[in-house]
Amino acid sequence: MVKISIKLYASGTGTADAVASFIVPLSGAIIQVNWALYATISGGGGTITFFQLSAQSTAQFALSDVRGIIDECAIVGSAATGLPAWENKVSILPGVRFNAGDKVYLHRLSVLAPATLVANVNINFA
């Protein structure tokens, strides 16, 4: 049973650490992460953008043997379609434990940045 649901929102197109964050209000475990990503594309490119939900204050996209990664999601789109790109993902987790006062961060890595980009991430605690 979900004790609390917390939403993170981030907009922007460049690579950045901690584009959104929250302080865990009560001890519990993250059991589900719902991702909703939307991007508009202009020009001849597209988008390849990765998001990472983490207990670490800096991103760890291109590293091995890292700790604290909760979940990751990517949005990929091509300008050839002429359509916006979107991604919806639901991750069911075995229960990633946190204590009240811990911080959770959302990071972004833009390999090919879109014109606009919005991320809504809903995190469910039990």
What are the boundaries of each domain within the chain?
A: 4-125
Tell if the pTM clears 0.75, that is, is over it.
yes
pLDDT by residue for the chain (126 residues), tens digit each?
789 999 999 999 999 999 999 999 999 999 999 999 999 987 777 899 999 999 999 999 999 999 999 999 999 998 877 789 999 999 999 999 999 999 999 999 999 999 999 999 999 999
Looking at residue 45, the DSSP 8-state letter turns out to be -
Is CATH 1.10.287 correct for 4-125? no
Looking at residue 79, the DSSP 8-state letter turns out to be G
Q: What's the per-residue H, E or C state across 95-121?
A: EEEECCCCEEEEEEEEEECCCEEEEEE
Question: How confident is the model at residue 60, as a pLDDT?
Answer: 96
